[in-house]
Amino acid sequence: MLALVQRAGPACDNSGMQQARVFIQTQDFDVSAELAALRAGDAGVGAACCFVGLVRDRNEGDEVASMELEHYPGMTEKSIEAIIDQAQARFGIHGARVIHRVGLLAPMEQIVLVAVTAAHRGKAFEACEYIMDYLKSLAPFWKKEQTPAGARWVDARVSDEQALERWSLGL
């Protein structure tokens, strides 16, 4: 049984981005409110980009009744903070926020939000994709789907690993 993870401050000190950046939680999130909070007070932001991942009702040709997500508390947040630090250094972004849900989720529910702000759209898009590619392949989350044939663990796809390789993050 997973406990509700309450929002707290940043997991690591980063003077360039003072807002809390990583949230692992069971509750749903409001994309509009999260994006507004991320860009609040920063008049240098010229672009905001966000990605929202959803639970699909099918995977690998099978019906999916639900997905259960687990994580390694502490390690997960720290690893996502590190990738945000890398994205800030690489793309010069103004801010980033990652919300990843855990627990039991049904098809059509939101799983993850990656939101990024930058001076220009190109860097915002790149940083958002960079962070998401990391989350799909290397972040310490475990996904288990319930299908008509029973439960199965979900591995990273080859296409996810290929997307990650283009950033030279390694596997």
Architecture per CATH, 22-165:
Alpha-Beta Complex (3.90)
Mean pLDDT of the 66-71 span: 95
The residue among 61, 56, 54, 55 whose CA lies nearest residue 148 is 61
Which sequence spans correspond to the domains of the chain? 22-165
52: how many CB neighbours lie within 10 A of its CB? 14
pLDDT tens-place string over residues 8-48: 433 333 334 557 899 999 999 999 999 999 999 999 999 99
Residue 165 scores a pLDDT above 90 = no
Q: What is the pLDDT of residue 154?
A: 86
Tell me the DSSP string of 52-82. EEE--SEETTEE--EEEEEE-TTHHHHHHHH
| 70 in Cβ contact with 141 (< 8 Å) | yes
For residue 163, the model assigns a pLDDT of 66
Please provide the DSSP assignment of 113-171 as one string: EEEEEESSHHHHHHHHHHHHHHHHHTSSEEEEEEETTEEEEEPPPHHHHHHHHTTT---
* Neighbour count for residue 69 (Cβ, 10 Å): 21
Q: What is the pTM of this model?
A: 0.84
Beta carbons of 124 and 88 less than 8 angstroms apart: no
Distance CA 124, CA 51 (A): 11
Strand partners, 131: none
Phi-psi region of 119 (alpha: psi -120 to 50; beta: other; left: phi over 0): alpha
At 99-154, the pLDDT tens digits run: 999 999 999 999 999 999 999 999 999 999 999 999 988 889 999 999 998 998 98
